[in-house]
Amino acid sequence: MKPETRKEEIIKTAAKLFKEKGYSAVTMRDLATAMGIKAASLYNHITSKQEILKVIIISLAEEFTQEMNLIKTSNHKAIDKLQMIVSLHVQITVKNTYGMACLNNDWMHLEEQLDYYLELRKKYEQDFIDIIKSGIKSNEIIDSNPEIIMFSILSTLRSLYLWIPKKEDINSNSLAQSLSKVLISGINT
């Protein structure tokens, strides 16, 4: 068992608070209280409130970017790639629910790193659309507006953080499978 550093503890606690109230509404004194220390003591471990946000969001965004690169350069069919994307989101959200909430709701409060984040997000969405387009070309996916399809799927995946903590028995694999079926095959008989 690797001992978690104090800094990692702070970031984890911050992510939890950010999920509940949002970055702006959480004060350094709130965070300190949650850690059982005084606000000034936080600065022995982190350099600023902003740094906490940066670490939470950028590390997640880079993880998504990396995994997307593996998926898009793989040799699977488009539909299978979509399933891999669903699994990716489920897995990361299960592992780091608070961070995902933060990524979704507080990205606009990034300062130095805002442009970088937006760039990563834009690329991710473009890769997503390209996969859908290739699936349309290969006749795996209906010839409908790729943006609507992307938006529809990605909205659900991005909202997973709202829903996953409610389920006690989160089996990542079975959730990813159920979700893939609904998103890809629809719900009608």
Partner DNA sequence: CAAGCAAACTAACAAGTGTTAGTTAAATAT
Partner DNA sequence: ATATTTAACTAACACTTGTTAGTTTGCTTG
Instruction: List contacts with a copy of itself (CB under 8 A).
Output: 20-25, 79, 105, 108-109, 132, 139-142, 144-145, 148-149, 151-153, 155-156, 158-159, 162-163, 175, 178-179, 181-189
Residue type for position 34: A
Q: Indicate left, alpha or beta for 149 from its phi (over 0: left) and psi (-120 to 50: alpha).
A: alpha
Q: Does 105 bind DNA (CB under 7 A)?
A: no
Nearer to a copy of itself, 69 or 137 (CB): 137
Region from 39-47, 67-75, 84-92, 124-132 binding DNA, contact rule CB under 7 A: 39-47
Per the listing, tokens 């409610």 go with 166
For residue 34, the partner it binds in DNA, a copy of itself, none, with Cβ less than 5 to 8 A by kind, is none
For residue 40, the partner it binds in DNA, a copy of itself, none, with Cβ less than 5 to 8 A by kind, is DNA
3-state secondary structure of 144: coil
Rounded least distance, CB 151 to a copy of itself, Å: 5
Among 12, 16, 45, 158, binds DNA (CB under 7 A): 45
Contact assessment for residue 25 and residue 53, using Cβ atoms and an 8 Å cutoff? no
Rounded least distance, CB 47 to a copy of itself, Å: 21
Among 21, 41, 108, 181, binds DNA (CB under 7 A): 41
For residue 70, the partner it binds in DNA, a copy of itself, none, with Cβ less than 5 to 8 A by kind, is none
Paired tokens of 31: 């965070």
Distance CA 167, CA 57 (A): 24
3-state secondary structure of 132: helix
Q: Does 27 bind DNA (CB under 7 A)?
A: yes
155 CB neighbour count, 10 Å cutoff: 9
Distance CA 106, CA 91 (A): 21
Q: Indicate left, alpha or beta for 139 from its phi (over 0: left) and psi (-120 to 50: alpha).
A: left
For residue 48, the partner it binds in DNA, a copy of itself, none, with Cβ less than 5 to 8 A by kind, is DNA
184 CB neighbour count, 10 Å cutoff: 14
Which residues are at the interface with DNA (CB under 7 A)? 5-6, 26-29, 32, 37-45, 47-50
